[in-house]
Structure 1
């Protein structure tokens, strides 16, 4: 497979849900782990975590990594909220442009996603039955997504859209409806798809031609189902340890990667093992666990890329 494997800050507990006062790995420490494990790229994480401009380019060059993409969450069904959020999209695009000045083999994929709602985030995998958009709100979501897509392309990048648990594009039927209306590739996230009630292999059969970015997760379904059965929200899922190292959960990573390979996929394969650490953790122990998991994850993917 002519694809490149990237790591992600979310696998080290660094993402939009990380408390501002949480102790986290230093950027160079994280990148050194990924470099030594044989990754070829890294996702952006929170804008600014790896720096900007020359600082970002030097950091990526030092660790021989390229920028794979990055998460840009927008309130797509809320016109006023969408307008207010556009500067955050433009800011992320400037960081992608900073990284692209180094002339990477693969350009980063700006990864667009819906913001969802508190009700949907509190009921991942169940929100589609309880809090669906009405037709007018759905039309706003479609229109604003296309505007964001056009804005990304005008900046010189090809966007991708992430179906995400806790948002209004979560369940397979919502993804179907979305893809039928918007001219954008799909980020297939194996873990979030399972939360939304989908099967990665069925999705690759249906939407394979639209998949232009891949987030690979393994999931311990017993842990996930226990969290959801107790009424847990996305924060509970992230902190539960439901996302596990490849081969220790219930996703058939081998079958998924074989299916992706059969499609002739040539983009980024981003390893994501989302984790939200507690405040009382030992950072040294946490680092050691994350390093071991990310080495294992990379080794599992070597037979394809």
Structure 2
């Protein structure tokens, strides 16, 4: 298994007011010390903006780059997402980060609410996904669509609409799929050929049910501990790894236990403990 980290596991997030933001120096050092050898980029401003400086920064911690999460508005006929994505490509190419992880952003901050999408919006969204997938291929990159709570592609029917109406591969995020009402293990078994990137999360299903029903907002559930270290929640992580391995998947598995922090953790404490627990669990299921 090729296992990478993600800054969101340390509470580093693009959403304003999400919580305390740990410095890149500490996050990258704790990734390295945990035995991880690669990371996703994290939000704008987390790593150096200049591509060459970003390479130097990651090299200083012995880390490679696998890709980055890119929220982009896809459903608005008056908005062309291509120029904004093109502006990011140098940072991917310079660092060798091969995967663009798109989320169908609503156009507003946060993931607690989202609008309804009409047929015209869906047609635009699907067409833009194929445009971005083709753009990535032209640059030797892989574009994926990340179903995500609070975006335009969240629920099971929306995931299947993307699979049926677009050729773009998926980022199989095991947590967001479960919260949105999709069994990620069943999806991995049914569509392994559409999976080009994996975000491994484990989730407390009772909290997921409360988010799905609208009883609790997504951000509040994350802050309350909805995400668990791998093997301690209700996602069939082992089944997913087996299904993808049997289908020949050789991409990255990115550890993501989204966190909201109230303050700076003491040295050696905090999110890194959950990362280490997840890595230990993965050693028991690794093929």
Q: TM-score, normalised by structure 2?
A: 0.90
Indicate how the Cα distance of structure 1 residues 23 and 199 shifts in structure 2: closer, same or farther if over 3 A, else same: closer
Q: Is contact 2:211–2:218 with CA below 8 Å preserved after alignment? A: no
Q: Is contact 1:6–1:270 with CA below 8 Å preserved after alignment? A: yes
- Residue 108 of structure 1 deviates from its aligned partner by 2.4
Indicate how the Cα distance of structure 1 residues 139 and 216 shifts in structure 2: closer, same or farther if over 3 A, else same: same
Indicate how the Cα distance of structure 1 residues 141 and 286 shifts in structure 2: closer, same or farther if over 3 A, else same: farther
SS in 2 for 1:283: coil
Over the aligned positions, Cα root-mean-square deviation in angstroms equals: 2.4
> d(CA) in 2 for partners of 1:202 and 1:138?
25
Indicate how the Cα distance of structure 1 residues 211 and 286 shifts in structure 2: closer, same or farther if over 3 A, else same: farther
Equivalent residue for 1:197, pick from 181, 184, 205 = 181
SS in 1 for 2:196: strand
Which residue matches 2:95? 99
SS in 2 for 1:180: helix
Indicate how the Cα distance of structure 1 residues 209 and 167 shifts in structure 2: closer, same or farther if over 3 A, else same: same
> d(CA) in 2 for partners of 1:282 and 1:113?
28
SS in 2 for 1:80: coil
- Residue 265 of structure 1 deviates from its aligned partner by 1.2
- Residue 230 of structure 1 deviates from its aligned partner by 5.8
- Residue 87 of structure 1 deviates from its aligned partner by 4.0
Structure 1 residues 47-77: Cα deviation after superposition (integer angstroms, max 9, x where no partner) = 3412132221122222222111111111111
Indicate how the Cα distance of structure 1 residues 80 and 220 shifts in structure 2: closer, same or farther if over 3 A, else same: same
> d(CA) in 1 for partners of 2:235 and 2:263?
29
Equivalent residue for 1:288, pick from 264, 269, 279 = 269
Equivalent residue for 2:166, pick from 155, 177, 182 = 182
> d(CA) in 2 for partners of 1:248 and 1:185?
28
> d(CA) in 2 for partners of 1:276 and 1:92?
27
Indicate how the Cα distance of structure 1 residues 286 and 133 shifts in structure 2: closer, same or farther if over 3 A, else same: farther
Q: Is contact 1:47–1:92 with CA below 8 Å preserved after alignment? A: no
- Residue 18 of structure 1 deviates from its aligned partner by 4.5
- Residue 263 of structure 1 deviates from its aligned partner by 1.7
Give the unaligned 5+ runs of structure 2.
none
> d(CA) in 1 for partners of 2:83 and 2:259?
28
Equivalent residue for 1:66, pick from 60, 64, 67 = 64
Which residue matches 1:27? 24
Q: Which moved more, 1:250-259 or 1:212-221?
A: 250-259
Which residue matches 2:74? 76
Q: Is contact 1:17–1:276 with CA below 8 Å preserved after alignment? A: no
Q: Is contact 1:117–1:166 with CA below 8 Å preserved after alignment? A: no
Q: TM-score, normalised by structure 1?
A: 0.85
Task: Report the number of matched residues.
Answer: 285
- Residue 132 of structure 1 deviates from its aligned partner by 4.2
> d(CA) in 1 for partners of 2:47 and 2:281?
27
Alignment of 1:216-235 (within 5 A): 216-229=200-213, 231-235=215-219
- Residue 31 of structure 1 deviates from its aligned partner by 1.1
Equivalent residue for 1:297, pick from 251, 263, 278 = 278
